[in-house]
Amino acid sequence: MTTPSAATDAASSPPRYTRIAMSLHWVIAALIVWGFALGWIMTDIPGFTPTKLRYFSWHKWIGVTVLVLAVLRVVWRALNRPPALPAGMHDWEKRAAHAGHALLYLLMLAIPVTGYFYSSAAGIQVVYLGVLPLPKLIGADPAIALVLKKTHIYLNYTLLAVVAGHLLAVVKHQVIDRQKLLSRMLPFGR
């Protein structure tokens, strides 16, 4: 039998994302942070040291993994409607949230793709996890490689800005508005 306070707590709890959506969210987020940190560190290492080459490999493996998981996440989201945003949110906030999520999905796909194409244009084959050679989708071309490298970098900084906005929105809705949005995406607790 449900106690009145338990029923009240359940009724006041916002609807949650599915466990799969939560898992994909947090795994992709962790991989993106790790990939960004590696990208930042590896590009500051002078020359072609074994450490730098190892970091480049790890960075590429993370990128391929993010791409695969992001595609799965897009498919999952298309098949599983996310929970509605709280009724107390302003319409402009809802539009901003939807636009921000769409941009995050676009960047989760575009950044690994530009990195992969950059490697191909630079004449470097991506060997996933050191065992699975992935095809070069474009031929080696230094001019295209330079454009793809810059695009990859700019997209990463755009992602950094969008994630910062996403985190600020979460804090605003959690702390200031007390809308309990964070609990919708946390795999523990209610």
Distance between CA atoms of residues 13 and 7, nearest Å: 10
Does 129 reside within a domain? yes
Q: Is the pLDDT of residue 11 over 70?
A: no
Question: In this predicted structure, what is the pLDDT of residue 1?
Answer: 43
State how beta strands 132-133 and 127-128 pair. antiparallel
Average pLDDT over residues 172-176: 81
> Does the pTM of the predicted model rise above 0.85?
yes
Which pLDDT score is estimated for 179?
Answer: 74
CB atoms within 10 A of CB 142: 9
Domain extent at residue 53? 16-184
3-state DSSP: the chain helix, strand, coil percent, rounded to 5? Answer: 70, 0, 30
pLDDT of 66 higher than 70: yes
8 belongs to a structural domain: no
CB 188 within 8 A of CB 143: no
How many CB atoms are located within 10 Å of the residue 126 CB?
Answer: 20
User: Is 60 exceeded by the pLDDT of residue 148?
Assistant: yes
Whose tokens are 């992969």? That residue is 116
Is position 7 within any domain?
no
Quick check: is 163 in a domain? yes
- 1 domain-assigned: no
pLDDT value at position 91? 92
CATH code of the domain covering residue 51: 1.20.950
Say if 3 falls within a structural domain.
no
Total structural domains in the chain?
1
173 lies in some domain: yes
| Residue 127, H or E segment | strand 127-128
CB 111 within 8 A of CB 150: no
pLDDT tens digit sequence for 86-130 = 888 889 989 999 999 999 999 999 999 999 999 999 999 999 999
**How does residue 63 score in pLDDT terms, banded at 50, 70 and 90?**
very high
User: Is 106 among the domain residues?
Assistant: yes
